[in-house]
């Protein structure tokens, strides 16, 4: 199992609009093809008061890297382009891939 995590930083002037877009556009469209599952959206807690805006982490599960790559080619790249068009540099992010390990 692969966990696909993207951490975003949204400027203070677009925080609410960005969260609404994730909930109403990005997540439903990311799930529509069936390659990704179990979305989880979290707010990153930080005591860095000098940074304006908030950071969020969005995670999905994928059965394999190959399936995730198919999703990105079919859907992810389009969603990324739309996000950049809507939010410009007010939202930036980076993605990480994690492999779920068994505890025993």
Quickly list DSSP for 19-48: HHHIIIIIHHHHHTTSS-EEEEEEEPP---
pLDDT at 50 (0 to 100): 60
pLDDT at 46 (0 to 100): 78
Q: Pick 65 or 50 by higher pLDDT.
A: 65
Q: Which residue has the tokens 């199992």?
A: 1
Q: Which residues of 50-81 are buried (b: 16+ CB within 10 A; e: fewer)?
A: eeebbbbebbbebeeeeebeebbeebbeebee
- pTM as predicted: 0.90
Kind and range of the H or E run holding 74: none
Domain borders along the chain are 2-98
Fold for the domain defined by 2-98 = Alpha-Beta Plaits (3.30.70)
Q: Which residue has the tokens 């093809």?
A: 33
User: DSSP code of 53?
Assistant: S
Mean of pLDDT values over 80-87 = 97
User: DSSP code of 73?
Assistant: I
């Amino acid at each position: 199992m692969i966990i696909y995590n993207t951490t975003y930083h949204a400027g203070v002037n677009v925080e609410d609009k960005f969260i609404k877009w994730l909930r109403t556009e990005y997540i439903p469209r990311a799930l529509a093809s069936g390659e990704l599952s179990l979305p989880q959206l979290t707010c990153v807690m930080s005591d860095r008061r000098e940074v304006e805006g908030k950071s969020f982490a969005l995670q999905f599960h994928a059965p394999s890297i190959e399936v995730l790559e198919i999703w990105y080619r079919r859907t992810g790249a389009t969603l990324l382009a739309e996000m950049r068009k809507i939010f410009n540099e007010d939202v930036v992010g980076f993605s990480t891939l994690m492999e779920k390990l068994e505890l025993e």
